[in-house]
Amino acid sequence: MVEMNLEHIYKKYEGNEKYSVTDMNLEIKDGEFVFFIGPSGCGKSTTLRMIAGLEDITKGDLKMNGQIMNDVEPKNRDIAMVFQTYALYPNMTVFDNMAFGLQIRKTYSQSEIKKRVDNAAEQLGLTDFLQRRPANLSGGQRQRVALGRAIVRDAGTFLLDEPLSNLDAKLRVDMRTTIAQMHQRLKTNMIYVTHDQIEAMTMADRIVIMNDGKIMQVGTPHQLYNEPVNKFVAGFMGSPSMNFFEATLHDGHVSDGKGLDVAVPEGRLKTLGAYNGKHITVGIRPEDIHAERVALDAMPDQIVHTKVVVSEFLGAETMLYCTAGQSKFTARVDARDYRNPGENVDVAFEMSKAHFFDPETQDVIR
């Protein structure tokens, strides 16, 4: 049982002008699978390393089950960590690599160690490889050994820092399932750092999205995708990214003066009153731009005449990269609505799904 609280945590590395982490506040409930995501350099690893005790906390409190942990030695924090570079001992077998962390602690009997390693190996599909050396394993198997090293410890909290980024795409997908199952079985807290939003979307109970050392939003994958609190979150979640337009709102229309001019449905206008006649940032996801006939018929005031610049047929769907005048955007349409580059196509912007942001603060307008 571990409940973790980060209370107003700051980190400034010696010699740096800037804080790497600023006023981080977070509560992690027992058994939760939490993801930290955000662009490179935003402070994810720094936060994880402060939790592990590998970096000092400059200011603020780290609590586990209500107890302040700031000055507790890493080995006494009941934490197991898996890194991106999983340096295994090349001269040791898989068994010994996994057992090593237990051997050096000297508190486990040999039979207990064997039991734990065998159990972890079984969970990770490594039973047949226990006598091999790392050189004779595939990348995915090696990464599994690195996970195994962590789970034999039975720690209260697992910290994983980009554990899959050295694997190829296919293996990453396989390992996502392995890790998700591992969490379901162990039911311990896991904090997982990644810059890959797909990994976070597919596995997380909750996602903490960071930028420039600060938390931007904390929520379920669903909340972050559908109710982003600001333009940063809106643009980070989703691939291809949300389309953004710097526009003006007038007479129930948004127009960017470059080729985009669409009506905003009555229901959405209600909250936008203060922006009438003013600048507003409009965001719309590629899947909310449609090319099929029924959509065009249903939204005659939201049609945009466009030219296709690049077209990607993806089997089940087609990605159209379009221009309307000087405006550019991406539409994710049905595979049947494939168009060749250079063709004209009318699309409907489903503005009831659009997101509106204050152009100054970049916060969502509610």
Complex with ligand ADP: residue 14 or 128, whichever CB lies closer: 14
Complex with ligand ADP: residue 126 or 224, whichever CB lies closer: 224
In 10 A of CB 307, how many CB atoms?
A: 15
Number of residues that bind Mg ion (CB under 5 A): 1
| Residue 147, token pair as written in the block | 């996970």
Contact pick of 9, 35, 43, 99 for ligand ADP (by CB under 6 A): 43
Burial class (CB in 10 A: 0-12, 13-18, 19+), 89: exposed
Residue 131 belongs to what H/E stretch? none
Contact pick of 5, 20, 45, 197 for Mg ion (by CB under 5 A): 45
When CB distances are held under 5 to 8 angstroms depending on the partner's kind, the choice from Mg ion, ligand ADP, none that residue 143 binds is: none
Long-range CB pairs of 294-303 (<8 Å, 24+ gap) are 295/348, 295/350, 296/346, 296/347, 296/348, 298/348, 299/348, 299/349, 299/350, 299/351, 301/262, 301/263, 302/262, 302/263, 302/348, 302/349, 302/350, 302/351, 303/262, 303/346, 303/347, 303/348, 303/349
Residue 215 CB, shortest distance to ligand ADP, in Å, is 12
| Residue 349, token pair as written in the block | 């912007």
**Counting contacts by CB under 6 A, is residue 76 touching ligand ADP?**
no
**Counting contacts by CB under 5 A, is residue 20 touching Mg ion?**
no
- Longest CA span, the chain: 77
Beta-bridge partner residues of 161: 193
Note if the bond before 240 is cis, omega within 30 degrees: yes
In 10 A of CB 62, how many CB atoms?
A: 22
Residue 81 CB, shortest distance to ligand ADP, in Å, is 14
When CB distances are held under 5 to 8 angstroms depending on the partner's kind, the choice from ligand ADP, Mg ion, none that residue 188 binds is: none
**Counting contacts by CB under 6 A, is residue 83 touching ligand ADP?**
no
> Is 167 in contact with 143 (CB distance < 8 Å)?
yes
Complex with ligand ADP: residue 41 or 257, whichever CB lies closer: 41
Give the three-class secondary structure for 322.
strand
- Give which of 277, 254, 279 is closest to 265, Cα–Cα: 254
Interacting positions 9-28 with ligand ADP (CB under 6 A): 13, 16, 20
When CB distances are held under 5 to 8 angstroms depending on the partner's kind, the choice from Mg ion, ligand ADP, none that residue 157 binds is: none
Complex with Mg ion: residue 160 or 182, whichever CB lies closer: 160
What amino acid occupies position 255? S
Residue 46 CB, shortest distance to ligand ADP, in Å, is 3
**Counting contacts by CB under 6 A, is residue 85 touching ligand ADP?**
no
When CB distances are held under 5 to 8 angstroms depending on the partner's kind, the choice from ligand ADP, Mg ion, none that residue 40 binds is: ligand ADP
Complex with ligand ADP: residue 18 or 170, whichever CB lies closer: 18
* 170 Cβ neighbours under 8 A, 6+ residues apart: none
Beta-bridge partner residues of 218: 208
Contact pick of 4, 6, 9, 44 for ligand ADP (by CB under 6 A): 44
Complex with Mg ion: residue 45 or 178, whichever CB lies closer: 45
Residue 46 CB, shortest distance to Mg ion, in Å, is 8
**Counting contacts by CB under 6 A, is residue 163 touching ligand ADP?**
no
Complex with ligand ADP: residue 83 or 108, whichever CB lies closer: 83
The residues that touch Mg ion, with contacts defined as CB under 5 A, are: 45
Task: Name the residues that contact ligand ADP, by CB under 6 A.
Answer: 13, 16, 20, 38, 40-46
